[in-house]
Amino acid sequence: MTIAQLQSVHPEQSISDWIKWLASYGKTDNGGVTRLLYSESWLEAQLALQKQMIQRGFTVRFDEVGNLFGRYIGTDEPDSIILTGSHIDTVRDGGQFDGAYGVLASFLAASELYAEHGPPKRTIEVVSLAEEEGSRFPFTFWGSKWVTGQSDLETAHSFIDSEGVSLQQAMKDAGFGESVETQSTAETIQAFIELHIEQGILLEHKKKDVGVVSDIVGQRRYMIQFSGESNHAGTTPMTMRKDAMRLTAEFITYITNAAEQLDPTLVATVGRLVASPNVPNVIAGGVECSLDVRHAQTGILDQFETIIEQFEKVAKQNQMEMKRDCWLQIEPVHLSDLFVEQALSHADTLGFSSERMVSGAGHDAQVFGLTCPTLLLFVPSEKGISHSPLEWTDPEALEKGLKLLKAQLYSLAYE
């Protein structure tokens, strides 16, 4: 069967219908979704998905941490697993699409392929990952880190939610934990494919149907502290001030201009700023601000770090002090070049406009990308809005993403 033939196959229910259905689990009053890890709504959603998988002939299982798997076993190479999916958890009052779209599209793509072509040559496994957002516990990618052996139960046990419940207890209460018998699939995963909404404005801005991600950015998050001298706003002449707010302002302009100049895909954001004493008639003696820096190349991130450091001189010239603490460092992940080329080619065949792009947000694909050939596909997000009830992608755009995923899965599992 050719890709053109695949395109003509229609599921009974559209992907949009399926998304609405899943959003009913954990629906909030203002149209958002809250499915925190191991919560009741989360568990109900996983069990409902399990039921749907069973009805479509998947062989299903949960692993120790609550990741849900459904597979169609391959006829030729059953141990070669083509894994596809995304995450089921959401932020508090998040959108309907983030994570859920990828889980449901994988489920639909696999079941449609099975219905149309029978069992695949290589095993197709759909995964509804337990956790990606870090919304309940200060710990992200728990689901994918568990599958790929990048985290263990011992590490996870140290995390506590805002109500004092440990991850271990929450997991146990939901019926998971060490007692669940399963077998690790890490060693046999031949590929991981994730479809996700962009959560950005690039595809919308460039009017592209789909995005094919070549790299997921590395992130460095800094806490920057400027120390000056608190003084009377009326009696201290401008030339005698050590105004930490003014210095911080200069820094923000300096660092955002520098980011623009260094590389077009580099982003630098000061999103948080806290001044002290933060009152109108007192010169700020201290300012603490965040700096979030992202780029797909470690070299650029390193180079930018020296640019940040250079501002210490400006602080000194103004008789003030600058302290810098890099409290989060995530390395960039380069995804499979082969898969990227395949996906771009499939998009072309399907008549979809596509964009080879970098993901500025983190995704489960970056965790899998460290252990197996990985592909991350995007569809546009309206206005880039995400983590909000206003999150939206047009049904047509969702269909196009599903079709591209299906084409890619066909070539990996059937050809």
Burial class (CB in 10 A: 0-12, 13-18, 19+), 223: middle
Taking the complex as a whole, the smallest distance from the CB of residue 259 to its own copies amounts, in Å, to: 6
Taking the complex as a whole, the smallest distance from the CB of residue 372 to its own copies amounts, in Å, to: 23
d(CA 61, CA 84): 15
Taking the complex as a whole, the smallest distance from the CB of residue 230 to its own copies amounts, in Å, to: 9
**String of contacts with its own copies for each residue 335-374, x by CB under 8 A:** ------------------------xxxx------------
Q: Does 250 bind its own copies (CB under 8 A)?
A: yes
Q: Which two tokens stand for residue 232?
A: 């009377």
d(CA 330, CA 316): 30
**Closer by beta carbon to its own copies, 153 or else 267:** 267
Taking the complex as a whole, the smallest distance from the CB of residue 390 to its own copies amounts, in Å, to: 11
What type of residue sits at position 250?
E
d(CA 215, CA 112): 29
Q: Does 330 bind its own copies (CB under 8 A)?
A: no
Which of 234, 299, 306, 325 binds its own copies (CB under 8 A)? It is 234
**Closer by beta carbon to its own copies, 164 or else 237:** 237
Query: Cα torsion at 51, 196, 133, 100 (round to 10°)?
Result: -20
Closest CA to 294 of 355, 245, 362, 230: 362
Beta-strand pair 354-359/210-216: parallel
Which of 2, 181, 237, 415 binds its own copies (CB under 8 A)? It is 237
Residues 6+ apart with CB under 8 A from 224: 251, 288, 289, 290, 291, 308, 322, 323, 324, 325
Which of 70, 99, 120, 200 binds its own copies (CB under 8 A)? It is 200
**String of contacts with its own copies for each residue 256-295, x by CB under 8 A:** x--xx---xxxxxxxxxxxx-xxxxxxxx-----xxx-x-
| Residues at the site binding its own copies, with contacts judged by CB under 8 A | 198-202, 205, 217, 219, 221, 231-240, 243, 245-246, 248-253, 256, 259-260, 264-275, 277-284, 290-292, 294, 359-362, 384, 386
